Amino acid sequence: MDKNKTMRRRILILLLITIFISCKKSEQNEVVKPQKIHVKLYVFDGGKIIANKLELFSEDTTYQGQRKVLADPYYVVIHPKGKLIWDAGLPENLVGLAEQFTDPSGAFTVSRKDSVKNQLKSIGLTVNDIDYIALSHSHFDHVGHANAFKNSTWLVQENEYNFFTNDSAKVKQADIYNLIKDLKKVRKLSGDYDVFGDSTVVIKSMPGHTIGHQVLYLDLGFEQAVLLTGDLYHFEENRTYQRAPIFNYNIPQTKESMKDFEAFAKSNNANVFIQHSPSDFERLKALINN
Ligand SMILES: [Zn+2]
């Protein structure tokens, strides 16, 4: 081998070693970014409600003689650490009825097309895949399929739990109690609760509609976080004018919660979705399907 060839080979080897070392160095200098937590939301149709006596949704006569169609969705949140179902639609005994059902008082006409089992199947899940169930509150249009989640942990405000499961409630509010009675794994909350401990899925206590009513904050990695109202508001006008239904547990407390909610939404630049609003139901579906 001539001298020049040997020299060239040495230079090439040196060059390769230099490149290798500099690569290693740049790897070491790279800032390790915290991994973005990926939270996914699904929204499902838990039925339809026609409010035949809209005057019930205000303390005055504003809505006298009006009716309104309300959506009744429920939600599935998929987090790397677990799965949460938020709200439980209308009772499943409505599924398959030939006609809509109107309650004896005539206030509500309700219907539901599909069961939670079928709906979860559409995203490849079963009821046993759901780790947590949380209800915005325990009214008939939010507890519908709750019993199906008897293996999940129920995240409920302690006062709400006591109010709807005490001995007298078991009799006087049997229609509600019978839909939640199988939830035996209970985590009682007193105030806000960060479900997975990383601020992406947070239950916010907003009492008044019921004694332990709550709303849900979701950071899905979008420009704005999603904030689900529960029944703090049933439709847009009630948010605009801060009106409360006359059947609320505590109206002054509801008004306080409305103030807290708006301040929280503003300071967190949250995108608010009124759960019973048919247009917000469509708006949310469009947002999460993009
Ligand atoms: Zn409701």
pLDDT at position 36: 82
Per-residue pLDDT, averaged over 155-171, amounts to: 98
The model's pLDDT over 56-71, given as tens digits with 9 standing for 90+, comes to: 999 999 999 999 999 9
- E strands of 21-127, at which residues? 40-51, 68-79, 82-86, 101-102, 108-111
pLDDT at position 263: 98
Per-residue pLDDT, averaged over 12-32, amounts to: 47
pLDDT over 90 (residue 21) = no
28 pLDDT tier (thresholds 50, 70, 90):
very low
Residue type, position 276, single letter: H
Q: How far, in Å, CA of 100 to CA of 148, rounded?
A: 23
How big is the CA angle at 218 (ends 211 and 156), to the nearest 5 degrees?
30
37 pLDDT tier (thresholds 50, 70, 90):
confident
Q: How far, in Å, CA of 212 to CA of 205, rounded?
A: 7
CA of 18 to the centre of ligand 1 (A): 68
208-243 core/surface letters (b: 16 or more CB in 10 A; e: else): bbbbbbbbbbbbbeeeebbbbbbbbbbbeebbeeeb
Q: What Cα–Cα distance (Å) separates residue 290 from each residue in 126, 127, 287? A: 25, 26, 6
pLDDT over 80 (residue 4) = no
Q: Which of 116, 246, 94 is nearest to 175 (CA)?
A: 94
Output the average pLDDT for the chain.
92
CA of 143 to the centre of ligand 1 (A): 10
The model's pLDDT over 189-218, given as tens digits with 9 standing for 90+, comes to: 999 999 999 999 999 999 999 999 999 999
pLDDT over 80 (residue 35) = no
Per-residue pLDDT, averaged over 170-176, amounts to: 96
Lowest mean pLDDT among 4-8, 55-59, 171-175: 4-8
CB 75 within 8 A of CB 52: no
Q: Which of 147, 157, 134 is nearest to 87 (CA)?
A: 134
CA of 138 to the centre of ligand 1 (A): 9
CA of 119 to the centre of ligand 1 (A): 20
Instruction: Record the tokens describing residue 95, joined without a space.
Output: 């599924």
Q: How far, in Å, CA of 228 to CA of 62, rounded?
A: 25
pLDDT at position 215: 98
pLDDT over 80 (residue 1) = no
Sort residue 109 into left (φ over 0), alpha (ψ -120 to 50) or beta.
beta
Q: Is 289 helix (H, G, I), strand (E, B) or coil?
A: coil
pLDDT at position 71: 98
The DSSP 8-state label assigned to residue 34 in this structure reads: P
pLDDT over 50 (residue 20) = no
- E strands of 87-225, at which residues? 101-102, 108-111, 132-134, 153-157, 186-189, 193-194, 201-205, 214-218
Q: Is 149 helix (H, G, I), strand (E, B) or coil?
A: helix
Other Cβ atoms closer than 10 A to 175: 11
pLDDT at position 3: 57
Q: With the C-alpha atoms ordered 152, 155, 158, 161, is the resulting torsion angle positive or negative?
A: negative
Q: How far, in Å, CA of 29 to CA of 108, rounded?
A: 64
Sort residue 269 into left (φ over 0), alpha (ψ -120 to 50) or beta.
left
CB 182 within 8 A of CB 192: no
CA of 151 to the centre of ligand 1 (A): 24
CA of 234 to the centre of ligand 1 (A): 7
CA of 233 to the centre of ligand 1 (A): 9
pLDDT over 70 (residue 8) = no
CA of 87 to the centre of ligand 1 (A): 10
Per-residue pLDDT, averaged over 80-86, amounts to: 98
Q: Is 72 helix (H, G, I), strand (E, B) or coil?
A: strand
The model's pLDDT over 245-284, given as tens digits with 9 standing for 90+, comes to: 999 999 999 999 999 999 999 999 999 999 999 999 999 9
CA of 232 to the centre of ligand 1 (A): 9
CA of 76 to the centre of ligand 1 (A): 17
pLDDT at position 23: 40
CA of 202 to the centre of ligand 1 (A): 20
47-62 core/surface letters (b: 16 or more CB in 10 A; e: else): bbbbbbebbebbeeee
